[in-house]
Every structure is written in structure tokens, then in C-alpha cells.
Amino acid sequence: MSTKNIIEIKNLTAEYKTPEGFIGAVRDFTLSIGEGETYGLVGESGSGKSTVAWVIMRYLDENGKVTGGEVRFKNQDLMTLDIEDLRRYRGRRIAMVYQDPMTSLNPSITVGRQIQEVFELHSGGSKNETWDRSVEMLEKVFIVDPPSSANKYPHELSGGQQQRVVIAMALACNPDLLILDEPTTGLDVTTEANILDLIEVLKNKYNSAILFITHNLGVIAKVSDRIGVMYAGKMIEEGPVKDIFKQPFHPYTEGLLNCIPKIEEKPSQRDLKPIKGTLPNLLKLPAGCIFHPRCPYTEESCRQTVPHLIGVGEERKSACMRWEELQSRRLVNETDRIQVMEKEAEAPEKSVSVQNGNLMHLRSVKKYFGGISIFERIVGMAEDYVHAVDDVSFSIAPGRVFGLVGESGCGKSTLGRAFIKLLNITEGNITYDGKDIWKFSRKENKTYHKDVQIIFQNPDSSLNPKKTIEEILARPLRLYRNLKNSDLENTVIDLLKMVKLRAGYRSRFPYELSGGEKQRIGIARAFAAEPRFIICDEPVSALDVSVQASILNLLLDLQRNFNVALFFISHDLSVVQHLSYQIGVMYLGRLCEIGLVDQVFSPPHHPYTRALLSAVPSIDPEETREAIRLIGPVPSAKNPPKGCRFHTRCPEKIGQICEEKDPPAYEPVPGHIIYCHLYD
Amino acid sequence: MSEEFLVKKILPEGDVPKPPKLFQFGRLILSNRKFLVGLILIIGLAIGSSIGSAHLPYDPIKFNIIDKFSNPSAKYWFGTDNFGRDIFSRVVMGAPMTMILGISAVFITLIISVPLGLFTGFWGGRTDEALMRINDAFIAIPSLFMALLLISARSSLEQYFKLPTTWWFDPYPIMAIGFTMAPRATRVIRSAAIHLKNEEFVHAAVARGESSLYIVFNEILPNVWPTIIVEGGIRISYAIIMGATLSFLGLGASPPAPAWGLMIYEAKNFLYSSPWLLVFPSIALSFMIVSFNLFGDGLRDILDPRTRRASLLE
């Protein structure tokens, strides 16, 4: 790694003009990346990390302006380049990869042509030459069958393949600096693992400097050499990734590392340590250290002075003025913590028996979407259903958390909605307290709607923007519990207190609340009905990392207090492992494995479960987990593979039997079922 | 670079300082020039015409044959028509008539199209398909034709029940115009409902087992108001034009009512005697239509969902 810096940013300040005032999105920001180095920029929403990328590309929105500092690319001041020079830099010497490949690619031009355009623009050559080079690029990013893939349109490729194409376009001209802005956030865990592997490989081949921006600490740990942590527009810590993760020198970094659930072989159900408070409003920044309102170690001096980024060791920087003092304090706490953990480990193991008297049973449930019209059937076209849920059977135990895990398109959300009668099922039955939910009388139906509630994923759209919080919470109380007047009012206040919000919130509208606060209202609304069963459809996926932990803790708390069964749907394995008693793993509409948390997360595994576990990027940079990668595209739910659904991508496929016969249920221990031929 | 310029007062956690709603509403309104101009003009028209109608210089129906076809002068500000009636008084008198016609017609349109559009959009499926095909059939008929058709039923309708009719309020053209505009408005409101149908808070309501009635009026309607208001604002201009056309064709107001459309109709025979019979009612009509257009357009800009501010207005 040479010390010649490819990009140097010094004291950069960038602002956005909004109707409410100027927002300092990036303030006094300094960064440099050397040749061949991968720098990870970590931060949550509003931290300013994307703004940094756009400043480098000089692509700020109309209302954005650089008001201070400088950005030098190989000693050339980027801010003073004129349009012509800028064009020569963009794409050729600095390239960028964005989050959503579907919108980064032009849907009406073939992918080969899009890569070809990059060559035509920057390096010239005849049509045939540039075409050959773009096919070559596709090969370099490991796209299957490059010559014919080059003639495909973006929508004909999967998300992972699209992102590879975008990466190919970015690397086409061998840029000196490659910027990746959340490139894997929109992808499934297994696809993400493949893309990260790809970036590893390309790093060695291309020797570009890489600026990798993400909020996912696990991903950062995997790809970066050095990282910088941003909070509310400022860089608050910087240094080599292994050192920082082993021993952070800023309370925010420490908080982030603590509030993320980790995948472990024997999960403990210790509460996550969330960072209290919420991200600051960039228009009303706290005085002194911007992190002090949420810092567990805050003191008067933190409120008075604004700390600057100072060198704190070998190549490390921190913006905490009291880092030395806190270091010694932490070492002391560390020993305490280890003792506490040992004590917990001695606690009696959770009972393994699965309770009888289950709340709900699903038997051979199928949900198909679509299908063809009568006309098409007459003409002779083949049946065209989307097999969203294809023969699923299991039971929900009362008062326990059932986690359903799977990647996008596996049918988990569909199943959740079927429970709540938002969708009806094509075949099979779902029974509640012994009765089929679609055969209820009106009274039973009303009881069912009261007993079964749902918490949605997106806090922004799950609350009616025209209603006050009071109205939103009062509705289920009026509807299910017939509360009126002062009873109603008091219960609303109780509900708010239950989710740790002040009573004053009831006169507010949803747009006046933060994402985390809105999700708390969603939770309050679900618990307002005094349900027995709550479907949680990815409730924390849309929230920032530091907020997720507090929401998960709240959910667990309430679940335990009210003894409510939860059906927790998520694609995030670590979250599901942390919360659940029982877990189900779904793939393409079918269950692969189901059992208690400890059983599923320790061997024997279904091959898909094993691949999922190895794909989750760990925040422990020292950890070596066996890397299992799934190769091949996810089959379409319209035409699922015969036999075992997973056989097209299974690294442990036995042979023909996997293609022909449905996998049998193997039950190593009562309650733990694996659907696989391996254990026949 | 210091951070002082960004530091504001520290507030207790979670409190958002809110300037009073009215203040923000006022700021919003002032920010859009089109809307302001339109609003001022309409208010001016309303006030001017109501005050003016109470203090007319001359009786708008009274003949002054001696002074017929006189040019604008100090005596007769807009001149006189073929019967010697003061054009100014007639124009001023016509203003409230026209405005009432426009607003009432839109009112009827909304009463029909809002429930219809919301329910059919929310229900979807075959009901929606069937209703929309019928709706499309109505849209296929040119508006004027439709209005003419409806108003030609007037005489037969009057046999069964007579609606109160005054010189400034004639319900038959109003109803005809209102019904004519309804199918197109239904389409617009339906598409707003379809958008909202997919919002998660609607799913939450369905999951609670709420009835369609509740969901449409309590979850969807509050979010559709901006669309409704804008739709209404724009349609007022259409209604006024149609009303004038109907009067021009002799099917709206009848003489001697000072309806502008009627005045223009009557003026066409006397163009060579005096152009003022045509000029002033036409200017007045254009002026009113432009004012309502600006108002409606400006309103649409303000309530554009892309402006986050739209959520401030309820």
C-alpha cells in the first residue's frame, strides 16, 4: 500500500438549503485514501456519508453547496474543474456504484450496450472492439455466459447480477477511485456474500482505491482496511478496521458495536444494549459534542466544548476528548462483563419440550397468485401461478416468539398476511383455537381480528398521516374494548407510556415523529387490542441500526409481559436468532427447517440454513466461518423446481433424488424438523 | 470551521417547536403567486359584485329606450344595450349569478363523484370494472352535448316537480352541468383512492376487520382532500364556461336575466349598432374564468404531494 494518496479531503463542509434553514450535512470532514486501499465509511441516516460521495463526484443536488474545505484527487483540486475536465474524470478516473441496481441501469438498453457506452465514451474504439471489451468485463465479474448475457435487459437479470453489471461498468476504465454507496443493502444475504467476494477478488486485480459506504458494520468489517465512523455530519473515529472493532475509542462506535445482535452458536437472550435517544435533528444540533445527549459517559465538559478529531494512537483518530479516561474505565468494566456473562451461561437451559395446546395450526397451506384467464386456458397456454407459499405446515405455540427467516421472494410476508386475513389462501387450512379461520361466524371473526394483530415494516406508511396519534391508538380501543371518554384517554396515555413515549405525543401527527417513534406507535397500536398473537412483518428492517436495538428490546419486553405469541418475519438472521424461541427457515415457498432456536442454529443443518449462516457478515474481523456460497440464480416462483426446491443451488445435492422427490421430514430431536434427502 | 452557526436552543428530547398551524398555512399560501392572484381576484369579484349588486346605478332590467346603444360615458359606464339597459349594472348583476352557478355545479359534481370514485377505487375488482365502463360511456359523450341532453329534459321534469327558480339561481342548468362533469371527476378521485388503497395503514384497517364504509371515509378520504379541492377548483371554470354556453344557446338563463352568456347571445344581432353589448360581458366572463383558473392551478401547486407541506393542510 503506497502512501501516495489518491484522494484527499480536508475540512470539507457541505450544506443543503431547505425551507427550514441550512443543514450542515458534512462538517469539517477530513479523509484520505491511498492507492489500493479500501476505506470503509460507516454511518446511519443523516450522517452525511452519501453527501461525501456526491461531493467527490460533484453531483450535489441543486440546493447543496460546498462551503468549505477542499477535495484533491491526485493533487488536482476537484472543485475547480470545469465541465469538460469533469466529464473526463467521471466514469474514467472516479467511478461510482449505487445502492439500487435496478434504477442505476437503463431498463430499455441491453446490459452489454450499457457497458459498451462506457468504453465508447472514455476509451474509444470501433463498435466491435468495444463490444468485445464489454463482454470481457462481464466475464471478469463472473456473470454466467457473458456473450448471451450481454444481450439481456436489466429486468431479465437478478438483483445480484444487475449489481455485477453496475460494478463492471464502474471498473471498465480501471478507475483510480471506486466509490460504492451501499451496494449490497438492497440484496439478499446470500447474494450480498457473493458480491462481497467479488469485490475482494477485484480488489486484487485492479488495485483501485475504494471508498465503501454502508451502515452495515458486518459488511464493513469484511471489506475494509481502514474505516471512518460518521455521526450527524462529522467524522468521530477513524482507524484500521480490526483495531477499531476490537477496541473502539469513541462511545458512539462502542454503542454501535454493542447494539447489534451477533450470530452465535449458542444464542443468549441477553438484552441488546441500545444507544439511548435518537439521531439529532440536523437543524437543531446539540451544543458541544454532538453525541453527548446519547452518550452514557457524558459530563459537563462534553456540553461545553466542541471536540475535534485528534490522533489517538497508531493511525487512529477519535473525536472524543475523554477517550483515554474512558479507555481505562472500559477495561475495568470488561472484566465485570465477562463475569456477568459466565454467570448467565450457568443459568439453566431453556426447556426443550414444545408445548401442547398450540394457538394456531397451519396444514398444507398454499397461496398462489395470478393464474391465467379462461380465454388463455382455451387457447392452450400453460398454467402460470406464482407459487408464493407452497405446502407449508407448522404450529404456533402460545406466548412464544416464532421467527420466520428467508430471503426475498420466499413467501414469508405472504404467509404473515394470510394469518391476518389480508389474503385468502388457495389450499390448505389455518386453524385458530381449533376452528378454520375462514369459517368463522361474524362474532368469531371479530374476536379473531382482536386476538391477532400486525405490525408493519414501514413506519412511514403504516400510520395514517392525517390522523393524530391519539386517534390512531383510540381506534382499536374503541373497536375491540369498547372504551369511551376518560377511560379511553387514560388508556391511550398508558399505551404511550408502555412504549416509552411521553403523553404529549398523542396530539401529534405521524410526520412529526421519527422512524423509531412511529414504529413504537405501531407496536402500541398492536398491543392496544390486547391480542394473543402479533404478526411482526420485518418491523425493524426500515430503521437505523442504533434504533433497532431499542425497538427489539421493547418488543421482547412487551411480549414477555403480556405473554403474547409473536410471528417475527425477517431476513436478518441475527435479529431472528436473538428474539425467537422457535425458528422456521423458508425458501421459495417451502419450509426447509423448523425447530427451536438452538436446534436450528447448531448442526445438523439444512444446507440452505448452513449457507445462510455462513453468509451473514460478522463484525468480528478475526472470525473465520466456513464460507459457503450459493451459485446460480434463484428460480422463479412461477415455475419452481420439482422435488426439493433448493436443489438447483444446493452445494450438498446428492443426485437425482433431489430433483425428483419431495424431501422427507427428518426429525433428529423432537420438534426439530429438517426437510432434506441428506438425512434419509 | 465553528459549529456555532448551526447550534440552536437545546429543547427537551422529542419536542418539535411548532409555529402555529395558521402561520405555516399563511406562509404556504403567500409562496405561490398564481394562487394569490387568483384568490385576490375571486375575493375582489365576490365582494365587488355583492356590494355592487346592492348599489347599482341603474335597474338592470329597466328599459331606457331613449338612450339605447349609447357609448360608455360618465352616465352609463359601459354604455347601454338595445333596450337602453345599463350594461354596467347588468354585468355587475351577472357576476354573482355566474359564480353561484359555477360553485353549485361543482358541488353537485363532487357529491356524486367523491363517494362513487372512492368506493369503486377501493373495492376494485369486477364492480370497479363494470362501473368504470359505464362511466367511460358517459365520458365518451362530449360535455356540451351531454349538458344539452340533460337540460332538454327540463320541460318534462318540470311536469313532475318544480324546483325553486329565481333569476339568480336556476337549478336546472346547474344540475345538468354538475352531472355532466361528474364522470370525469370520478375517474380522478378513483385514481387517488387506488393509490391510497395500497398504503399500509389501509392494510392495517383491513386487518382490524373494519368495514369498507369506515375505511373509505375515515382512512382514505382524509388523504384525498387535496385532490378533491384541486379538482373542484379547476372545474369551477369549466362550469362557468358551460353555463355561459348554455345561456348563449338559450337553454340556460332566460331573458331578461343578466346572465353573461345570454347577454353575449343577445349582442350578436346588434354588433354593428354597438360593440359594447358584446365587449363588456365577454371581458367579464374571461376575467372570472381566468381568476378561477389561477386559483385552481395555484391550489394544485400548493397541494402537490411532492411538497411535504401538503400534510399540513387538512
The pLDDT of residue B24? 60
Q: Report the alpha-carbon distance of residue A43 to residue A28 in Å, rounded.
A: 16
Would A72 be classed as within a structural domain?
A: yes
pTM over the 0.95 mark = no
CB–CB of A517 and B14 under 8 A? yes
Residue A31's identity, in one-letter code, is: L
- 3-state SS track over A351-414: CCCCCCCCCEEEEEEEEEEECCCHHHHHHCCCCCEEEEEEEEEEEECCCCEEEEECCCCCCHHH
Structure confidence by residue, pLDDT tens digits, A278-337: 777 777 788 888 888 888 888 888 888 888 888 887 788 888 888 877 777 765 555 554
CB–CB of B208 and A446 under 8 A? no
Q: Report the alpha-carbon distance of residue A563 to residue A561 in Å, rounded.
A: 6
| Minimal CA separation from A74 to chain B, in Å | 25
| Minimal CA separation from A653 to chain B, in Å | 40
CB–CB of B8 and A454 under 8 A? no
Chain A contact for B204, CB < 8 A?
Answer: yes
| A62 and A209 part of one domain | yes
Measured between CA atoms, the residue of chain B closest to residue A534 is: B207
Q: What would the mean pLDDT of A635-659 be, rounded to a whole number? A: 86
The pLDDT of residue B23? 61
- Its ipTM equals 0.77
The closest CB to that of B201, out of A28, A278, A461, belongs to: A461
The closest CB to that of A446, out of B8, B18, B209, belongs to: B209
CB–CB of B204 and A283 under 8 A? no
Structure confidence by residue, pLDDT tens digits, A3-55: 468 888 999 999 988 777 788 889 989 999 988 899 999 988 778 888 899 89
Residue A114's identity, in one-letter code, is: Q
Q: Which residue has the higher pLDDT, B258 or A344?
A: B258
| Minimal CA separation from A476 to chain B, in Å | 8
Kindly report the CATH number assigned to the domain that includes residue B193. 1.10.3720.10
Least confident of A517-521, A523-527, B155-159: B155-159
The pLDDT of residue A378? 79
Would A352 be classed as within a structural domain?
A: no
| A118 and A83 part of one domain | no
- Quick one: which of A509, A512, A502, A522 has its CA closest to A459? A522
| A545 and A669 part of one domain | yes
CB–CB of B219 and A509 under 8 A? no
The pLDDT of residue B217? 92
| A316 and A403 part of one domain | no
Domain that holds residue B163: 33-55+70-312
| A89 and A131 part of one domain | no
| A485 and A382 part of one domain | yes
Q: Which residue has the higher pLDDT, A403 or B22?
A: A403
Give percent of chain A with pLDDT exceeding 90: 24
Q: What would the mean pLDDT of A561-570 be, rounded to a whole number? A: 92
Structure confidence by residue, pLDDT tens digits, A600-618: 888 878 889 888 888 887 7
Max mean pLDDT among A280-289, A408-417, A552-561 falls in A552-561
Q: For residues A195 and A101, is the Cβ–Cβ distance under 8 A?
A: no
| A447 and A305 part of one domain | no
Q: For residues A531 and A452, is the Cβ–Cβ distance under 8 A?
A: yes
Average pLDDT value over all residues in chain A: 85
Q: Is the pLDDT of residue A99 over 80?
A: yes
Number of folded domains that form chain B: 1
Could you count the other beta carbons within 10 Å of the beta carbon of residue A70? 14
CB–CB of A287 and B201 under 8 A? no
Q: What is the CA radius of gyration of chain A?
A: 27
Would B282 be classed as within a structural domain?
A: yes
Q: What is the CA radius of gyration of chain B?
A: 24
Structure confidence by residue, pLDDT tens digits, A163-198: 999 999 998 888 889 999 988 887 888 888 888 888
pLDDT tens-digit profile, chain B (314 residues): 333 333 333 333 344 445 555 666 666 667 777 888 888 888 888 888 888 878 888 887 788 888 888 888 888 888 888 888 888 888 888 888 888 889 999 999 999 999 999 999 999 888 999 999 999 999 999 998 999 989 888 878 878 877 887 767 788 889 999 999 999 999 999 999 998 998 889 999 999 989 999 999 999 998 998 889 888 888 998 899 898 888 888 887 777 788 888 888 888 888 888 888 899 989 998 989 888 888 888 887 777 654 444 333 32
Q: Is the pLDDT of residue A533 over 50?
A: yes
| Chains A–B, number of C-beta pairs less than 8 Å apart | 91
The pLDDT of residue A239? 92
| Minimal CA separation from A612 to chain B, in Å | 29
- Quick one: which of A541, A534, A596, A597 has its CA closest to A568? A534
CB–CB of A456 and B200 under 8 A? yes
| A145 and A225 part of one domain | no
Q: Report the alpha-carbon distance of residue A379 to residue A364 in Å, rounded.
A: 31
Burial class (CB in 10 A: 0-12, 13-18, 19+), A611: buried
The pLDDT of residue B301? 77
The closest CB to that of A420, out of B9, B11, B207, belongs to: B207
Chain A contact for B1, CB < 8 A?
Answer: yes
Would A196 be classed as within a structural domain?
A: no
Q: Which triple of cell numbers denotes residue B130? A: 363494470
* φ/ψ of residue B36, rounded to 5: -60, -50
- 3-state SS track over chain B: CCCHHHECCCCCCCCCCCCCHHHHHHHHHHHCHHHHHHHHHHHHHHHHHHHHHHCCCCCCCCCCHHHCCCCCCCCCCCCECCCCCEHHHHHHHHHHHHHHHHHHHHHHHHHHHHHHHHHHHHHCHHHHHHHHHHHHHHHHCCHHHHHHHHHHCHHHHHHHCCCCCECCECHHHHHHHHHHHHHHHHHHHHHHHHHHHCCHHHHHHHHCCCCHHHHHHHHHHHHHHHHHHHHHHHHHHHHHHHHHHHHHCCCCCCCCCCCHHHHHHHHHHHCCCCCHHHHHHHHHHHHHHHHHHHHHHHHHHHCCCCCHHHHHCC
